[in-house]
Amino acid sequence: MDRRVNASSLPPLRKTDYEALSDFRHQLRKFERFSENAAQAEGITPLQYVTLLHIKGMRERPWASIGELADRLQAHSHGVVALVSRCEAAGLVERRQNAEDRRLVEVHLLEKGEAVLARLAALHREELKMLGGVIHRSIQPY
């Protein structure tokens, strides 16, 4: 879905709009920094954490395809293949051929990936709870 809007057709922003946008970006960056530090403390990269999260977060099945991960990560497929290879080398995930369509490669979490993800996701959920009110207040003018 393309959500581009012609900026010239929008009403001008007030000072409070800029303040709200700045506050939102600040809180977003604080969350990103928290996430980076938490992932690194677990011995993985922030991108590996997000990859594990997207695999576990697939609706109605316990695996994701490379294409689905590329879409979720907003990345090119060849970059995601390399990322999955690094996750595989770290013992976090494994690739399996799909039973019905042998061309489709499924990326599954392994026990180690599940454990790392569970710890990190719990921390992220708590951090979001704390930031939620701040973020909500920063976008109230909208």
Residue 6's pLDDT is what? 83
Residue 142's pLDDT is what? 53
Residue 71's pLDDT is what? 97
Q: Which amino acid is at 49?
A: Y
Residue 54 CA to residue 58 CA, distance in Å, equals 6
pTM of the model: 0.85
The CATH classification number of 14-138 equals 1.10.10.10
Which residues partner with 65 through β-bridges?
106
Question: Which one-letter DSSP state was computed for residue 61?
Answer: S
Six token digits for residue 73: 């990560």
Six token digits for residue 29: 């960056």
Six token digits for residue 70: 């590329």
Task: Report CA-CA distances (Å) from 4 to 53, 56, 100, 103, 141.
Answer: 28, 30, 38, 35, 21
Low-confidence ranges of the chain (pLDDT < 70): 1-2, 133-142
| Sign of the CA dihedral running 97, 99, 103, 109 | negative
Residue 21's pLDDT is what? 87
